[in-house]
Amino acid sequence: MLNRHTAPPATTAARLHIEEPKTIHLANGLPVYCFCNNSYDAMRLDLVFDAGTAFQTKKLLASTTNNMLKEGTQKLTSHQLASRLDYHGAYLDLSVNKDTAWMTLFCLKRNLNYLLPLLKSMLVEPGFGEKDFEHLNSKQKNEFTVNSQKPKHLARREFNKRLFGEQTPYGQTAQLDDFDNLDTNDLKAFHKSFYHHANCRIIVSGPVDDRMMHKLGENFGDQWGNPGEVTGFDQQTSFQAGYHPIQRDGSLQSAIAMGKPMVSRAHPDYTGLMLLNTILGGYFGSRLMANIREDKGFTYGINSQLVSLRQAGYLQISTETGQQVTQAAIAEIRKELIRLQQETVGPEELELVKNYITGSLLRSLDGPYAQAERFKSILGQDIGMQYFAEILQKIKNTDTDQLQHLAKQYLDPDSMLTVVVGEK
Amino acid sequence: MIQFESFTLNNGLRFYVHRDTTTPMMAMNILYDVGSRDEHPDKTGFAHLFEHLMFGGSINIPRYDEPLQRAGGENNAFTNSDFTNYYLTLPVDNIETAFWLESDRMLNLAFSKKSLEVQRQVVVEEFRQNYLNQPYGDVWLLLKPLAYKTHPYQWNTIGKEIAHIENAVLEDVKDFYARHYNPNNALIAITGNVELEQVKALAEKWFGPIQPGLKPTRQLPAEAAQTEKRHLEVERHVPLTAIYKAWHIEARNHPDFYATDLISDLLGSGPSSRLHRQLVRKQGLFSEINAYITGDIDPGLFIVSGKLMSGTDPKKAESAIDKELEVFKNKPVRLQELRKVKNKVLSALAFSSISILNKAMNLCYYGYLGDANMVNQLADSYRAVDADQVQAIAKSIFNDSNASTLYYKSAQETTK
């Protein structure tokens, strides 16, 4: 008789086996990290710069400079560049976060020879044409305007400002007027300072061979750009806890962003906090989801994130709830935070979350492109891929008393900032 | 190339198995042949609401998510107008956990009142979050009933209105399950470092004993040919006026599909495309513009959508779109331009055949269309498209009598 009641035995990986990328340095010292894997036809190439928003002296400068790299070079118009990229099957992602800026290329192996010099040209001789800039800027401004009507975006912006301090590198938050304060001279200056070989790291993944490495050296191994010293930034966080509602008339839902500054990766408490955060709101079965979505039906989704930047860390709980249940939802979030402080997490739940995290890490490191993505997130922090194996071990070794201790120390709801965007 | 094997159990459940030795994970994808097109016009939103209920516990297993998480797994699902799709990934060593969980919820659900009450609320919040409380959120709630007058595609998967979801009762839900959630109404794909015999044995053990149901025959009212241009204007609290145009196209399995898909790329996918170049950059009428097809299984839609630059008259903007389409219809596309969009597609296809989850989804999807091996023929299908075909199809699609247009006007602009 088939027993459908009992779960079949399941195992959890005891440890993660992960290899460091193969590292070489080009003639100019530029490091190239390879996740070589011949099972695939497709390549991924990441060019990463320490050129995130924290480095900018004017708002929107970092992201606009980065986005403009795709809007033509000194040799090709915006249209010509776009056509050539498309013709050679290139998928290009240009983006920034607070610490870094990157250009990520996906293409077939056979197209890389053509695309490498094109990418190089985009990086060293971008067009920064006036018309192209006007077009991009107005597009971004329009997107900003639309986003300004989305409760989630408004909540996030306000949260970011108050979490770090509006005048700080991490806390600076763009407003509509800022789009009118940019010009191409600003972009050229930022580009000159930050987009050069001494401020660049390359990650290449997929079927990388010697010929390809040679081509990379040919294109990116010279003294490209203007290698002066990159001006760093100093994040001096200015945080105040408190409750901040923002009116948005006619809102059917409220967006809530709640959290506080936290320690970052280097701190000994960090791995325990990763585990604690997962229990709180880091997976579908979390305390917040189980209560606020699955039990109360207040929301389509609620989660908590623990984020580690280069110079700071933070916790952010986010959700969009029905208008009429906003305060009730906040009360439940507070309840869950307090619960973690007052009760220890039971052995079954703890084991479940540890197993889930193991699976999740395995999944996020599956294959060369996923590994490249993970590696990109730890660049410039003096850690390698072994870091992921190590944190898994530490998480597995964290016990329930340690978790409660961390909750008491870090999760007091009254120590948090709460931003609510919705009908008053 | 996705090498795979297939087999069917006595109860009609179809399996596809693809071996991938490069990963420690495996994926299981289950496609049920029921979508929002199968709903009653007074009880819409059911297929999607039901998808939520599938996670509320099955007859022998009170909670679906926990045992999966314990086994290091993750899962999700989606519903569209044509079918409902569930998927999970987990370390391949725990393959039996996947079979245990999925077979039990195919066998029978727990059907608790509480689960229905909560998920009703959750779906109502989803409706609000994605369709009502966002700028441009309700576009599809307006566009679909404009383009479709008889076919069930006229309503969205989320439902025609919140009330339909709020009024759903347990009896309706049980009935829906009994009709559609049967082994002979489903396809399953397993990808990962697995052996065919191993999968067969597990399939027989866990899914074999499940009785087939009466396979529902699908007899949907066909959409009558549109004979006149349709037009709708609404005003909303959004910063920019937007235009949406829809034309009827052939079904997914029609030979025209691949050419039609490439037409949407030629016209409106990214900065090198025609509409972007002409209407955004050169004429400065639009802030952004895109073209795409809905990809529905029954005859779907070709969409052009764009946001206007502030102060632009929507009539002028629509005229400009029509003019570009006339150019497209009257002059065969150049070889290089066609090759460009093909190369982009080929690149995308190569990337989509990497992840075990994508492969599992594709095997089910193409199996559902009639032949799982279609997934290996896609590249050739796109390569085979020629300029004459493109021109002929463009001429048949882009006519006023086939068009539905929505002006989504900015109330803020109007008051300026």
Considering only CB atoms, B240 lies closest to which of A40, A146, A299, namely A146
Structure token digits, residue A163: 């979490």
Q: Best mutation site among A136, A144, A146 for testing chain B: the one with the most B CBs within 10 Å? A: A146
> By CB neighbour count within 10 A (0-12 exposed, 13-18 middle, 19+ buried), where does B106 fall?
buried
Q: Do A297 and B61 touch (CB under 8 A)?
A: no
Tell me what the pLDDT averaged over chain A comes to. Answer: 95
Q: Provide, as residue numbers in chain B, all residues whose Cβ is less than 8 Å from the Cβ of A351.
A: 70
ipTM surpasses 0.85: yes
For residue B27, what are the β-bridge partners?
Answer: B89, B191
**pLDDT at residue A250 in the model:** 79
Tell me if A395 sits within 8 A of A361, measured CB to CB: no
Q: What is the pLDDT of residues B299-312, one digit of tens each?
A: 999 999 999 999 99
Tell me if A205 sits within 8 A of A44, measured CB to CB: yes
Q: CB-based contact (8 Å) between B77 and chain A?
A: no
Q: What is the pLDDT of residues A30-70, one digit of tens each?
A: 999 999 999 888 999 999 999 999 999 999 999 999 999 99
Q: Determine if residue A29 is left, alpha or beta; phi over 0 gives left, psi from -120 to 50 gives alpha, anything else beta.
A: left
**pLDDT at residue A423 in the model:** 74
Q: Provide, as residue numbers in chain A, all residues whose Cβ is less than 8 Å from the Cβ of B22.
A: 37, 39, 367
Considering only CB atoms, A139 lies closest to which of B119, B132, B288, namely B288
* A residues 351-390 closer than 8 Å to B (CB): 351-353, 355-356, 358-360, 362-363, 366-367, 369
Closest CA to B378 of B295, B304, B267: B295
Q: What is the pLDDT of residues A241-274, one digit of tens each?
A: 999 999 988 788 899 999 999 999 999 999 999 9
* A residues 124-163 closer than 8 Å to B (CB): 135, 138-139, 142, 145-146, 148-151
Nearest-by-CA chain B residue for A17: B24
**pLDDT at residue A200 in the model:** 97
Considering only CB atoms, B239 lies closest to which of A145, A298, A355, namely A145
| Confidence at B75, pLDDT banded by 50, 70, 90 | very high
The CA angle B41-B42-B47, to the nearest 5 degrees, is 70
**pLDDT at residue B134 in the model:** 87
Q: What is the pLDDT of residues B359-404, one digit of tens each?
A: 999 999 999 999 999 999 999 999 999 999 999 999 999 999 999 9
The DSSP element (H or E) to which A106 belongs, if any, is: strand A101-108
Q: Do A149 and B239 touch (CB under 8 A)?
A: yes
In the block, which residue shows the tokens 């009992």? A6
Please give the share of chain A, as a percent, with pLDDT higher than 90. 92
Considering only CB atoms, A363 lies closest to which of B71, B89, B129, namely B89
Gap from B402 CA to chain A (nearest CA, Å): 31
Q: Do A298 and B121 touch (CB under 8 A)?
A: yes
Name, of A249-253, B57-61, B404-408, the range with top average pLDDT. Answer: B404-408
Q: Bigger pLDDT: B414 or B261?
A: B261
Structure token digits, residue B83: 């079918």
Coil, strand or helix at B144: helix
Q: Do A42 and B118 touch (CB under 8 A)?
A: no
Q: Provide, as residue numbers in chain A, all residues whose Cβ is less than 8 Å from the Cβ of B71.
A: 7, 10, 12, 355, 359
Give the number of other Cβ atoms within 10 Å of residue B23's Cβ: 22
Distance CA B98, CA B90 (A): 8
**pLDDT at residue B116 in the model:** 92
Q: Report, as an integer, the average pLDDT of B248-261.
A: 98
Q: What is the pLDDT of residues B159-214, one digit of tens each?
A: 999 999 999 999 998 999 999 999 999 999 999 999 999 999 999 999 999 999 98
Q: Provide, as residue numbers in chain B, all residues whose Cβ is less than 8 Å from the Cβ of A284.
A: 65, 69
Gap from A254 CA to chain B (nearest CA, Å): 9
The CA angle A89-A91-A93, to the nearest 5 degrees, is 160
For residue A305, what are the β-bridge partners?
Answer: A316
The DSSP element (H or E) to which A387 belongs, if any, is: helix A386-397
Is the pLDDT score of B416 beyond 60?
Answer: no
Q: Report, as an integer, the average pLDDT of B57-73.
A: 94
In the block, which residue shows the tokens 């409106």? B268
Distance CA B142, CA B146 (A): 7
Q: Provide, as residue numbers in chain B, all residues whose Cβ is less than 8 Å from the Cβ of A108.
A: 346-347, 350
Tell me what the pLDDT averaged over chain B comes to. Answer: 95
Q: Provide, as residue numbers in chain B, all residues whose Cβ is less than 8 Å from the Cβ of A179.
A: none
Predicted TM-score of the model (pTM): 0.94
Tell me if B231 sits within 8 A of B322, measured CB to CB: no
Q: Report, as an integer, the average pLDDT of B39-68.
A: 93
E strands present in B298-374: 301-308
Distance CA B73, CA B88 (A): 7
Q: Provide, as residue numbers in chain A, all residues whose Cβ is less than 8 Å from the Cβ of B113.
A: none
Q: Do B22 and A37 touch (CB under 8 A)?
A: yes
* A residues 168-227 closer than 8 Å to B (CB): none
Tell me if A186 sits within 8 A of A348, measured CB to CB: no
Closest CA to B136 of B282, B308, B10: B308
Gap from B100 CA to chain A (nearest CA, Å): 7
Q: pLDDT (tens digit, 0 to 9) for every residue of chain A, 424 residues total?
A: 899 999 999 999 888 889 999 999 999 999 999 999 998 889 999 999 999 999 999 999 999 999 999 999 999 999 999 999 999 999 999 999 999 999 999 999 999 999 999 999 999 999 999 999 999 999 999 999 999 989 999 999 999 999 999 999 999 999 999 999 999 999 999 999 999 999 999 999 999 999 999 999 999 999 999 887 778 999 999 999 999 999 988 788 899 999 999 999 999 999 999 999 999 999 999 999 999 998 999 999 999 999 999 999 999 999 999 999 999 999 999 999 999 999 999 999 999 999 999 999 999 999 999 999 999 999 988 899 999 999 999 999 999 999 999 999 999 999 999 999 997 6
Considering only CB atoms, B125 lies closest to which of A82, A106, A299, namely A299
**pLDDT at residue A424 in the model:** 63
Q: Provide, as residue numbers in chain A, all residues whose Cβ is less than 8 Å from the Cβ of B99.
A: 8
Q: CB-based contact (8 Å) between B72 and chain A?
A: yes
The end-to-end CA distance of chain A, in Å, is 59
**pLDDT at residue B220 in the model:** 96
Distance CA B67, CA A323 (A): 34
Considering only CB atoms, A360 lies closest to which of B74, B277, B280, namely B74
Q: What phi and psi, each to the nearest 5 degrees, are found at residue A89?
A: 60, 30
Transcribe A175-193 into DSSP letters.
-GGGGGG--HHHHHHHHHH
Q: Do B280 and A135 touch (CB under 8 A)?
A: yes
The CA angle B368-B373-B374, to the nearest 5 degrees, is 75
Considering only CB atoms, A366 lies closest to which of B25, B69, B72, namely B25
The amino acid occupying position B236 is R
Q: Do A146 and B344 touch (CB under 8 A)?
A: no
**pLDDT at residue A1 in the model:** 83
Q: Provide, as residue numbers in chain A, all residues whose Cβ is less than 8 Å from the Cβ of B340.
A: 83, 86-87
**pLDDT at residue B413 in the model:** 74
Q: Provide, as residue numbers in chain A, all residues whose Cβ is less than 8 Å from the Cβ of B280.
A: 135
Q: Provide, as residue numbers in chain B, all residues whose Cβ is less than 8 Å from the Cβ of A286.
A: none
Considering only CB atoms, A355 lies closest to which of B69, B281, B340, namely B69
Lowest mean pLDDT among B10-19, B122-131, B201-210, B290-299: B122-131
| Confidence at B415, pLDDT banded by 50, 70, 90 | low
Is the pLDDT score of B414 beyond 70?
Answer: no
Contacts of A193 (CB under 8 A, 6+ apart): A226, A228, A230, A231
**pLDDT at residue B102 in the model:** 97
Q: Do B118 and A90 touch (CB under 8 A)?
A: no
Distance CA A210, CA B92 (A): 33
**pLDDT at residue A228 in the model:** 79
